[in-house]
């Protein structure tokens, strides 16, 4: 099992480019199933999750080619409707093929993605959404089996704001007969990116950026070309890396407005932030930052995917703060690993109370999931001695060129080879 050896760094400095967003690319890839043609997606990072989705699309009959940062997906021969466990179990986002397969083939059989590293992640809203479009759905032997004639437009209200269920429903409804109205839809930038792609394919989706979406179903869609938006979570991780090391860096190829919730908190902590059209600079070198509390929430609130990294920051600063998680109440598997490094954190329900400790000491730790792994790397950059982060396959899911980008900023993390160890059970990503 490979690991990263993280060397303590001084303040990070310099400039890096941010990659395309994993969480945008995955639904964009699934949506290519809705047409019979050759689709192109630009700004696609080299990530394990992208490879997994490519393998899944190939399994369904597509030809997928990823060169440099461009993906071409030829979905003309997609006739298979089964997304098997060995692929779906690698990545929860595999559920994104449910809507497109139903819309295209009138049938889909997708293994249940199950729970993730930090606790339950239900798919009930995805299923109810498909049922509202007149699909018959039943669960058997760990699979979601769905079939339908042409899907029928309907009104559907999400009881919880769900990025994944909104995306799946959009992809199903664009080819449904009649009008679909979605209430309490997610407004994450990745949803807007998907809507742009669907409309470029000939779909009629209205209300982008609002919680109410109206979809006028069309008979067919054509292949289109779309670029994935910049990865706001990757960008946020590097901004926090600069903050934790009291550095000053610039990120290029970002969308500053997608990062407002984070940059506002960084400013409140005492960092200087300046934004260009597609760049953000942070300077955290002027004075020690203050520990600031955050509460996660759906966009445009503070992203849960930046919660472990923020928790790492406040764990290393003088002062007390709270981190409240409202999206995934159990997303705190990283705390015991932080504690190994000397962090002082008490968890009560979905609130972590932190007393900062600027004197952290390096240790052997384990990435419990993707962002938890990123947060441990950040702590390793400032802990005394070395920190070895194990189970880094999680990081390969979501951080393109992590060692190279950190090294461009003056940090050093070294990928260590496969040492004999017990193979972990890989849940849904
Ligand atoms: C590939 C991808 O884009 N993953 C992101 C996506 O995950 P994902 O799309 O899985 O997350 P959701 O937005 O669906 O989850 C939001 C909330 O809705 C609940 N829920 C969701 C679906 C459902 O059927 N029933 C239900 O109750 C979840 O338990 C959670 O409490 O959004 C999350 C929240 O921003 C991020 O952490 C993930 O990085
Ligand atoms: C949790 C994440 O991804 P996924 O939903 O694919 O597990 C993430 O990107 O932080």
**Does 199 have pLDDT greater than 50?**
yes
Residue closest by Cα to atom 7 of ligand 2: 429
Range scoring the smallest mean pLDDT among 145-159, 207-221, 365-379, 415-429: 415-429
Sign (positive or negative) of CA dihedral 23, 4, 353, 356: negative
Asked if 192 and 164 count as a contact pair (C-beta separation under 8 A), the reply is no
How confident is the model over 408-428, as a mean pLDDT? 70
| Nearest ligand (C-alpha, residue 123) | 1
- pLDDT-based confidence at residue 119 (cuts at 50, 70, 90): confident
How confident is the model over 152-169, as a mean pLDDT? 98
Range scoring the smallest mean pLDDT among 82-86, 204-208, 408-412, 425-429: 425-429
Tell whether 122 is in a known binding site: yes
Tell whether 340 is in a known binding site: no
Residues forming a β-bridge with 11: none
- pLDDT-based confidence at residue 419 (cuts at 50, 70, 90): low
- pLDDT-based confidence at residue 427 (cuts at 50, 70, 90): very low
How many whole angstroms from 259 Cα to the centroid of ligand 2?
A: 17
How many whole angstroms from 323 Cα to the centroid of ligand 2?
A: 19
Query: How does DSSP assign 268-314, residue by residue?
Result: HHT-EEEE-SSEEEEE--SSPPPP--EEB-STTSB-GGGHHHHHHHH
- pLDDT-based confidence at residue 118 (cuts at 50, 70, 90): confident
Q: Say if pTM beats, i.e. exceeds, 0.90.
A: yes
For domain 22-219, give the CATH number. 3.65.10.10
Take residue 185 and report the two structure tokens written for it. 């839809």
Ligand 2 site, residue 398, Cβ cutoff 6 A: yes
Residue closest by Cα to atom 37 of ligand 1: 305
The pLDDT score that the predictor gives to residue 115 is: 58
How many whole angstroms from 336 Cα to the centroid of ligand 2?
A: 20
Q: Where in the chain is the domain with CATH 3.65.10.10?
A: 3-19+230-416, 22-219
Ligand 1 site, residue 122, Cβ cutoff 6 A: yes
How confident is the model over 126-149, as a mean pLDDT? 96
Spot the catalytic one: 35, 78, 116, 428: 116
Take residue 11 and report the two structure tokens written for it. 């303040």
**Does 426 have pLDDT greater than 60?**
no
Give the pLDDT confidence of 335-371 residue by residue, as tens digits.
Answer: 999 999 999 999 999 999 999 999 999 999 999 999 9
For domain 3-19+230-416, give the CATH number. 3.65.10.10
**Does 428 have pLDDT greater than 60?**
no
Mean predicted lDDT score pLDDT of the chain: 95
CA distance 358 to 291: 11
Asked if 19 and 45 count as a contact pair (C-beta separation under 8 A), the reply is yes
Residue 116 appears among annotated catalytic residues = yes
**Does 303 have pLDDT greater than 50?**
yes
To the nearest whole percent, how much of the chain has pLDDT over 90?
93
The pLDDT score that the predictor gives to residue 351 is: 98
The pLDDT score that the predictor gives to residue 424 is: 41
Tell whether 121 is in a known binding site: yes
Q: What Å distances lie between residue 28 and 22, 244, 394, CA to CA?
A: 10, 33, 22
The pLDDT score that the predictor gives to residue 114 is: 66
Give the pLDDT confidence of 27-54 residue by residue, as tens digits.
Answer: 999 999 999 999 999 999 999 999 999 9
**Does 267 have pLDDT greater than 70?**
yes
**Does 415 have pLDDT greater than 80?**
yes
To the nearest whole percent, how much of the chain has pLDDT over 70?
97
Tell whether 17 is in a known binding site: no
Residue closest by Cα to atom 10 of ligand 2: 305
Q: Would you report the helix, strand and coil content of the chain in percent, each value rounded to 5?
A: 35, 25, 40
Ligand 1 site, residue 100, Cβ cutoff 6 A: no
Residue closest by Cα to atom 2 of ligand 1: 23
How many whole angstroms from 193 Cα to the centroid of ligand 2?
A: 17
């Amino acid at each position: 099992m490979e690991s990263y050896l993280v060397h303590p760094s001084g303040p990070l400095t310099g400039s890096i480019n941010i990659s395309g967003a994993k969480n945008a690319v995955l639904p964009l890839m699934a949506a290519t199933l809705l047409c019979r043609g050759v689709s192109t997606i630009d700004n696609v990072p080299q990530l394990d999750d992208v490879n997994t989705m490519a393998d899944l699309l190939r399994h369904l009959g597509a030809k997928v080619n990823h060169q440099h940062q461009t993906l071409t997906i030829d979905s003309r021969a997609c006739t298979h409707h089964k997304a098997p466990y060995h692929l779906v179990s690698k990545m929860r986002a595999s559920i994104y093929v449910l809507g497109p397969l139903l819309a295209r083939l009138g049938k889909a059989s997708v293994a249940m993605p199950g729970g993730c590293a930090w606790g339950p992640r239900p798919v009930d809203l995805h299923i109810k959404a498909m049922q509202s479009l007149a699909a018959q759905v039943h669960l058997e032997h760990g699979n979601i089996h769905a079939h339908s004639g042409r899907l029928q437009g309907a009104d559907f209200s999400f009881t919880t704001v769900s990025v994944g269920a909104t995306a799946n429903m959009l992809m199903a409804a664009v080819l449904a007969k009649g009008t679909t109205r979605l209430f309490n839809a997610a407004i994450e930038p990745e949803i807007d990116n998907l809507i742009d792609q669907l409309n470029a394919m000939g779909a009629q989706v209205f209300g982008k950026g609002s919680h109410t979406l109206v979809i006028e179903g069309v008979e067919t869609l054509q292949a289109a070309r779309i670029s994935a938006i910049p990865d706001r979570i990757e960008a946020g991780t590097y901004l926090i890396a600069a903050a934790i090391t009291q550095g000053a860096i610039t990120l290029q190829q970002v969308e500053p407005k997608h990062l407002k919730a984070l940059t506002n908190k960084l400013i409140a902590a005492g960092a200087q932030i300046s934004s260009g059209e597609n760049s953000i600079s942070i300077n955290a070198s002027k004075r020690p930052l203050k520990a600031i509390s955050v509460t996660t929430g759906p966009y445009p609130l503070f992203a849960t995917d930046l919660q472990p990294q923020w928790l790492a920051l406040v764990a290393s600063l003088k002062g007390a703060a709270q981190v409240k998680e409202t999206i995934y109440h159990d997303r705190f598997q990283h705390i015991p690993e932080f504690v190994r490094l000397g962090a002082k954190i008490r968890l009560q329900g979905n609130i972590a109370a932190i007393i900062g400790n600027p004197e952290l000491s390096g240790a052997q730790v384990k990435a419990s999931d993707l962002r938890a792994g990123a947060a441990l790397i950040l702590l390793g950059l400032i802990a005394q001695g070395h920190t070895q982060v194990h189970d880094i396959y999680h990081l390969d899911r979501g951080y393109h060129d992590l060692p190279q980008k950190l090294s461009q900023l003056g940090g050093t993390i070294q990928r260590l080879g496969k040492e004999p160890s017990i193979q972990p059970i890989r849940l849904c990503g």
